[in-house]
């Protein structure tokens, strides 16, 4: 019952259109495809367009399948159920997934890949974090923005009970913020940059309260039975990210082509992103453990987790 309740909380079910498939064969030599969960607003659409993964895996008879999601928690539910092999999210979703005994492992980290922060309207009377007391703050439950809110409240000397959380997916948060249904909105790029360009004021940038880290995660069985493929996948992603680091205008243009999001907002988000993929480190483990403990403290995580129990060791090829 506990596991079912937490999975419902973090995902709310798989996104429409994701068709359940037979779990991949235990022998990696029988693997015919690698199924990747991604968000249109993230970095993976760029990799998808560049087709580097196809170049690496297609000659081996392995197909790359891309499945789009609105945000991170449903991606992890897809990984847990075996409908996805790998995907990436912000820092909070894996913690809730682990608490639900999800079948996944940390495979790699992307430090500072996406900016996030807490926004208010330009004419809002809120001037500092302490002013959030008693206010409605919109953000995705169990998302990286949720983590930002926790650390921001701590910095301001406020508790979680001092605010009124309003759990909203990104698109719903954008609409609620625009019509004034919430006092503040915690969100990540490109929504963050979009709102900044449309009269929003930054009450606190995420980097001021918490170092944002995103993670690649993999299905536990896939990592165990197809470890060579997973390592090769991460190596290919790392190469593409090195390219992205020196071709930021190309990255912004590609994201514009696939999403139609305002180009200037995309450029701003790309400019403040770091494009690097690293093995999951002890510092990552410590940071994730601290966040997990915070969620337990406020009663949103029903039990403690040991982050280090679900780490898969990746040794980069270069």
Domain boundaries of the chain, sorted by first residue: 2-112+213-310, 116-209
Domain 2-112+213-310 fold: D-Maltodextrin-Binding Protein; domain 2 (3.40.190)
Residue 42's pLDDT is 74
pLDDT digits (tens, 9 = 90+) for 37-58: 998 777 888 999 999 999 999 9
Spatial separation of the C-alpha atoms in residues 268 and 270, rounded to whole Å: 5
Mean pLDDT of the chain: 88
**What single DSSP character describes residue 69?**
E
Is the predicted pLDDT of residue 20 greater than 60, yes or no?
no
Is the predicted pLDDT of residue 291 greater than 80, yes or no?
yes
Residue 113's pLDDT is 67
Contacts of 249 (CB under 8 A, 6+ apart): 267
Tell me the two tokens of residue 303. Answer: 């039990």
Is the predicted pLDDT of residue 17 greater than 50, yes or no?
no
Q: What CATH number labels 116-209?
A: 3.40.190.10
pLDDT band at 30 (very low <50, low <70, confident <90, very high): low
Is the predicted pLDDT of residue 15 greater than 60, yes or no?
no
Q: Are 95 and 307 in contact (CB under 8 A)?
A: yes
Q: What is the share, in percent, of the chain residues with pLDDT greater than 70?
A: 90
Q: Are 2-112+213-310 and 116-209 in the same CATH fold? A: yes
- Residue range 276-284: mean pLDDT, rounded: 96
CB atoms within 10 A of CB 89: 26
- Residue range 146-166: mean pLDDT, rounded: 96
pLDDT digits (tens, 9 = 90+) for 72-130: 778 999 999 999 999 988 899 999 999 998 899 999 999 876 789 999 999 999 999 99
pTM, entire model: 0.85
Tell me the two tokens of residue 186. Answer: 């915690």
- Cα–Cα separations (whole angstroms), residue 91 to 42, 106, 157: 14, 11, 22
């Amino acid at each position: 019952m506990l596991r079912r309740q937490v999975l419902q909380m973090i995902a709310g079910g798989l996104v429409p259109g994701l068709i359940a498939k037979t779990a991949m064969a235990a022998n990696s030599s029988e693997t015919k495809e690698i199924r990747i969960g991604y968000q249109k607003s993230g970095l993976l659409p760029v990799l998808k367009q560049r087709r580097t993964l196809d170049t690496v895996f297609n000659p081996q008879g392995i197909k790359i399948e891309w499945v789009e999601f609105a945000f991170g928690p449903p991606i992890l539910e897809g990984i847990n159920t075996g409908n996805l092999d790998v995907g990436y999210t912000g820092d909070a979703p894996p913690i809730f997934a682990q608490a639900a005994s999800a079948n996944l492992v940390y495979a790699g980290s992307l430090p500072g890949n996406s900016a996030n922060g807490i926004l208010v309207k330009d004419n809002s009377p809120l001037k500092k974090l302490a002013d959030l007391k008693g206010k409605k703050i919109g953000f995705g439950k169990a998302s990286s923005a949720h983590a930002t809110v926790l650390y921001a409240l701590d910095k301001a000397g406020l508790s979680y009970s001092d605010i009124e959380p309003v759990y909203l997916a990104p698109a719903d948060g954008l609409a609620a913020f625009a019509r004034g249904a919430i006092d503040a909105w915690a969100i990540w790029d490109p929504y963050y940059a979009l709102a900044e360009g449309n009269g929003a004021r930054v009450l606190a940038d995420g980097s001021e309260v918490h170092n944002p880290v995103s993670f690649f995660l993999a299905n536990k069985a896939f990592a165990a039975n197809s470890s060579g493929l997973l390592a090769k996948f991460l190596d290919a992603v790392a190469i593409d990210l090195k390219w992205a680091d020196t071709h930021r205008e190309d990255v912004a243009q590609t994201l514009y082509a696939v999403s139609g999001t305002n180009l200037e907002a995309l450029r701003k988000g790309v400019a403040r992103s770091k494009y690097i993929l690293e093995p999951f480190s002890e510092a990552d483990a410590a940071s994730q453990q601290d966040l997990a403990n915070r969620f337990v403290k406020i009663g949103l995580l029903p039990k403690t987790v040991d982050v280090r129990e679900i780490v898969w060791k990746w040794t980069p090829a270069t």
